[in-house]
Amino acid sequence: MTIGGLTVEVWYPAELGSEAGQEKIRYDIRTGLPDAEQGKVPDADNPWQDCECWQGLPLDADHGPYPAVIFVHGTAGFRSQSLEHVVHWASRGFVVLAADHPGLWLKDLLGSLCGVPMVPQNLADDIGQLVAALAAPAGDLAFGAGHVDVERIAMAGHSAGGGAIADAGGSARVLIPMAAGGVEAGAALESTLILGALSDEVVAYSSQQEGFESSPAPKRLVGIADAGHLAFSSLCSLKNTQGQDFLQIAQANDVCGAQFASLLFDCSPDYTPDTTSWEITQFASSAVLESVLRCTDAADNCNELQAKFPEVAEFQEAL
């Protein structure tokens, strides 16, 4: 949908069984390439992004109102870059919003390297638009009126997106920066979860450790061993039927700006498998989100993290 000047995807709990007979959503990430580059990648080479979700199902109005999570993608990312997480949160009873952020998303950054004027970036304004839209649902978001509790908002962000939410504690009760730094105190902020990867070659894990130290309590830090910068996204696992990853496909089809993407493409077959990193992220983030925004005792699950996942090399909390 469109909210203000943003293209936004919204995932939400639907009526049980309403997906019967409907086709699941398949995202075409070529829409995240500059217009002149989209036709270079044929369907056969495309790394389609399949989603355990459906378009336009009726919202489950028998439950709720639902807390909301705003997700902000990283540099050269896009709204479905961390699809496994946003869908998981929606399945746990949250309404999740993610936008393609002008000046930050893949299309604009690659375009700026290929002769397209750079689009200005204003992440604080983008986030403000999403918060305002949740407070007064209208237009495409009108279906959520009365079903979203604007007093129960969380924000998560990856890399630059994690930096963008660092000072959003005035409206978010939970902040979850991933592969970024810490956060600042805010009137609404009740809990922070800092997620990092120990082998991150883009943003050093020490940034998460330092961010944990400087962030206000209550706070938690989870560090995943042998994982890279994109462990909190789908990007390393997005492959076509030939087994080529996103970067290989772009380079093979001479997509302009692919050399820039290679600087951020921190993927390795030696890293902890993405599926494991996703499971850790979902387990820890759901524990924090549900304990604060749904008033459960799910935060106790954090004590099981290292026993459940040997790949969690570091877990700290200050409550």
**pLDDT tens for each residue of 113-157:** 888 998 999 999 999 999 999 999 999 999 999 999 999 999 999
Least confident of 138-152, 203-217, 222-236, 243-257: 243-257
Q: What is the pLDDT of residues 241-285, one digit of tens each?
A: 999 998 899 999 999 988 777 788 999 999 999 999 999 999 999
Task: Give the pLDDT of residue 137.
Answer: 94
How far is residue 274 CA from its own chain's centroid?
Answer: 14
Task: Give the pLDDT of residue 178.
Answer: 98
Residue 65: φ, ψ to 5°: -65, 150
Task: Give the pLDDT of residue 113.
Answer: 87
pLDDT higher than threshold 80 for residue 35:
yes
Task: Give the pLDDT of residue 196.
Answer: 98
Q: What is the pLDDT of residues 282-308, one digit of tens each?
A: 999 999 999 999 999 988 999 999 999
The DSSP code sequence of 25-79 is: EEE-GGGGS-GGGGGGS-GGG---EEEEEESSPPB-TTS-PEEEEEEE--TT--T
pTM exceeds 0.95: yes
Task: Give the pLDDT of residue 258.
Answer: 84
